[in-house]
Amino acid sequence: MSKIGVGIIGASPLRPGWAVAAHLPALASLPDYELRAVATSSEASAKAAGDAYGVPAYSDPSLLIARPDVDLVVVTVRIAHHHALISQAVAAGKMVMSEWPLGVDIAQSTDIAARVTKTDLWTLIGLQARMAPSIRYARDLVEQGYVGKVLGTAIVGSGIAWTTVSDSAHTYMFDAQSNASLLSVPVMHAIDAMQFVVGDLTDVRATSAVRNPVIRLADTEQDIQSTTPDHLAIAATLESGAVASIFYRGGTSRGENFRWEINGSDGDLVLTSPVGNLQVLAPNLFGGHGEDAAVAPLNIPSEYDLSTGSLEGPGANVARLYAAFARDLRDGTPGATAPDFAHALRLHRTLDGIAHAAAGGVAQTLGQGR
């Protein structure tokens, strides 16, 4: 297979974001990919990007999408722009990688997935937590009976953002209409990993609250009002009948910022991380079963790392996601390992159910085929 030509929308070196921190290092570490172009939001940032990355750079993303040497369009901008950019790329016959969430709401996400269904285009959604070697190994341990019958599972995490101090570049995260929320981002990344390991949620109850209504913008010394909940608690059952709970708060904790337990009839697995955004950093894995009195660190076999393993930090899981996508392409098995837009739509339905449960205080049943 020849190299996959990549064009990244949202890779400004003047205001480095997730594309610069994770996507560019990930792609550079993989032999299957080659960066061919970038697009940013202004002429100044486009010029800086072209100088920094040595590829053509545009302030108009349509020019990047139109390039014949761009096979895969990567969308790493605010969610509000996803629908228009993805729709344009699909219409141009390009494969698309989009950061999660796919759309602002279930309607946009459904429309995007429907557009792709009418084509034979391959897609990739940025749900890379499931690519972490520790999470992939935990999935196999559960399937192999390491913990016996799964009885329950619980996650407690910190969302980093959605706290009392931010900056003007992130004001949209405190507007509930933008849907760049504690629930839609860190919680759903964690739930995607949870469902990957122990199965899907079914009946869901949830409650949320805006506990920090006033946000200080450090760069402008102004205050804004937040309408986005910064605390969320979910209680659910899995398809297996096991009980699940997820609690997330904004900001960080002086205690643990991420802890996930999987408790079974004959053992326990524990995953921990200093970062509550599970997609950013692969968690540590501990386990104990049978006669073990406590959990201990587990050695993860090398085959669970789908990339070269040469990259560390935020780009590592993203590299594993891209590596899985390239492998699926070689094998002709879309969505087999790397999650696609059809998977994203199913997760959006879960997101929608949780949001309705939290808003209305009424339990939601998440059926098959969501």
Which of these, 279, 306, 304, lies nearest to 30 by C-alpha position?
306
Q: Compute how many other C-beta atoms are within 10 angstroms of the C-beta atom of residue 154.
A: 16
Tell me if 22 sits within 8 A of 316, measured CB to CB: no
Q: What is the CATH number of domain 4-129+318-340?
A: 3.40.50.720
Q: Where in the chain is the domain with CATH 3.40.50.720?
A: 4-129+318-340
CA angle 20, 336, 245 (to 5 degrees): 75
Which of these, 331, 280, 308, 337, lies nearest to 17 by C-alpha position?
280
- The residue with tokens 């309705």 is 356
User: Could you read off the pLDDT tens digit of each residue along the chain, which spans 370 residues?
Assistant: 689 999 999 999 998 899 999 999 999 999 999 999 999 999 999 999 999 999 999 999 999 999 999 999 999 999 999 999 999 999 999 999 999 999 999 999 999 999 999 999 999 999 999 999 999 999 999 999 999 999 999 999 999 999 999 999 899 999 999 989 999 999 999 999 999 999 999 999 999 999 999 999 999 999 999 999 999 999 999 999 999 999 999 999 999 999 999 999 999 999 999 999 999 999 999 999 999 999 999 999 999 998 877 788 999 999 999 999 999 999 999 999 999 999 999 999 999 999 999 998 777 888 644 4
- Please report the beta strands in the chain, taking only residues with DSSP state E, as ranges in sequence order: 4-9, 33-39, 57-58, 72-75, 95-99, 123-126, 150-158, 165-166, 201-209, 214-217, 222-225, 231-238, 243-249, 258-264, 267-272, 284-289, 296-297, 364-365
Q: Which CATH number fits domain 130-299+347-364: 3.40.430.10, 3.30.360.10, 2.40.50.100, 3.50.50.60?
A: 3.30.360.10
Q: Where in the chain is the domain with CATH 3.30.360.10?
A: 130-299+347-364
Which of these, 257, 249, 155, 253, lies nearest to 198 by C-alpha position?
155
Residue 118's pLDDT is what?
A: 96
Instruction: Give the predicted TM-score (pTM) of the model.
Output: 0.96
C-alpha R_g of the chain: 20
- Is-cis flag, bond preceding 101, omega within 30? yes
